[in-house]
Amino acid sequence: MQLACPQCDLVVDVPRLQAKQVAQCPHCHSSLNASNVNNDPKVVALTLSAIILLLSSVFYPFISFSSRGITQTMTLPDAGRMLFNYDSTLLGIFIDISIIILPLVMLLLLLPLHLGFLRTLPKHWGRKLLKLTLALDTWVMSEIFLVGVLVSMVKIMSMADITFGISFWAYGGFVLTYIGALSYVNRPRLWRQIAPHKEVAVPQGVRAIDVNLRACHVCQQLTYDKLCPRCHSTTHYRNMQSVQKAAAWLVTSVLLYIPANVLPIMYTTSLGDREPSTLIGGVILLWQSGSYPIASIIFLASVVVPFAKALVLATLCVMVYRQASRRSMVYTRLYQVTEFIGKWSMIDVFVVAILVALVQLGNLMLVEPGLGALCFAAMVICQMMAAHAFDPRLIWDPPEKVKRVVNE
């Protein structure tokens, strides 16, 4: 089966792969997924388990916080709901959607896809269902939320007793089964249930754009047409206005980076004394309390990584107009790492949500969200959109070709 590498656009003739085999692009060494292994039973079993565990985690106590004889218990929906009480509605909606609603929708969509519904549904609806399912994965942040819970526990264990409820263990089990289910999802095989992959006669060792071929960004089908014959998505030689869109999202994220680090992400009230806390302030507090690993993780995820992502994306937007030649491989790897770690910077936002929902003991101890948390969440989303908008194939294109196709 011939595929165009999504990273460098080289047309590769991929042989039939067996279980646990991975094809690799000979040009940029990126992985190419063309396996036809049937993992449907595993996906269905893990998906059903994940649905049961997720629903169980919603109705039982998640974490209990006890200090000086006063106990506060939160449930999973409280992570977003409590933010509504402090006029942080947008942040609350985002958290509820990313850790509960989207994961549940994703799981409910995975079930029919792996029970053979794509073969029985009208092709029009099958395409829409599959496109929606594959698009949702980026915005599910359950595993990041779970890490945020553990980080927040480290922050408050020294001043109160923490008890993990049934919901916490159920949610942890859900995250593991959800990740397991996604690891077995075979996207090429699902698309082949919509329509078989049509072969196009192309010489080996050429790039798709050099022979006027378009690689569908949704289903990987090679075509000469402007409409993909399999998934009916609009095709382009390169993503439309890729550099301009990436640069716009990037500039927005940089503008948000400043208030996200300067404004307080939360306010802590202890015995009537209300103190603001910024990102850097929280890292310093953790470091001074002896939590060096956690302080390092938060500093990397919330300060260093967003800055590094912005620097990498800005470099890529500039370098596509220059002949990268031997450094193209390095830039491709930088882009892949940037895209992979994109949403992990959201840890601090989830930490704030957990603390706001849990630490509600009046003047004795109280945590309220700050405007910095909303700015930080918006910054991370803008950086994710910038990475998604950028087309890595431009890194391998000659500058004169970039100028021709970038405004297509």
Whether pLDDT at 67 is above 80: no
Find tokens 């998906």 and name the residue: 47
Domain presence at residue 186: no
Residues of the chain with pLDDT > 70, as a percent, come to 90
- Do the bridges between strand 2-4 and strand 266-270 make them parallel or antiparallel, or are there none, so unpaired? unpaired
Q: What is the pLDDT of residues 140-169, one digit of tens each?
A: 999 999 988 888 887 777 667 788 889 999
Burial class, 167, CB count within 10 angstroms (exposed 0-12 / middle 13-18 / buried 19+): buried
Answer with the residue of higher pLDDT: 199 or 105: 105
Which pLDDT score is estimated for 326?
65
Whether pLDDT at 293 is above 60: yes
CATH number at residue 371: 1.20.140
Q: What is the pTM of this model?
A: 0.86
Domain presence at residue 306: yes
Domain presence at residue 141: no
The band of 34, judged by pLDDT with boundaries at 50, 70 and 90, is low
What's the alpha-carbon Rg for the chain, to the nearest Å? 23
Which pLDDT score is estimated for 325?
60
Token output for 46 = 């893990």
Which pLDDT score is estimated for 251?
94
Q: What is the pLDDT of residues 91-121, one digit of tens each?
A: 889 899 999 999 999 999 999 988 888 888 8
Distance CA 30, CA 22 (A): 10
Domain presence at residue 53: no
Which pLDDT score is estimated for 170?
94
Which pLDDT score is estimated for 3?
83
- Domain containing residue 364: 239-408
Whether pLDDT at 407 is above 60: no
Q: What average pLDDT does range 184-213 have in this prediction?
A: 84
Domain presence at residue 173: no
Domain presence at residue 99: no
Phi and psi torsions of 89, nearest 5°: -60, -45
Domain presence at residue 376: yes
Most confident of 66-70, 128-132, 273-277: 128-132
**Longest Cα separation, the chain:** 75
Q: What average pLDDT does range 348-375 have in this prediction?
A: 78
Answer with the residue of higher pLDDT: 101 or 201: 101
Domains in the chain: how many in total?
1
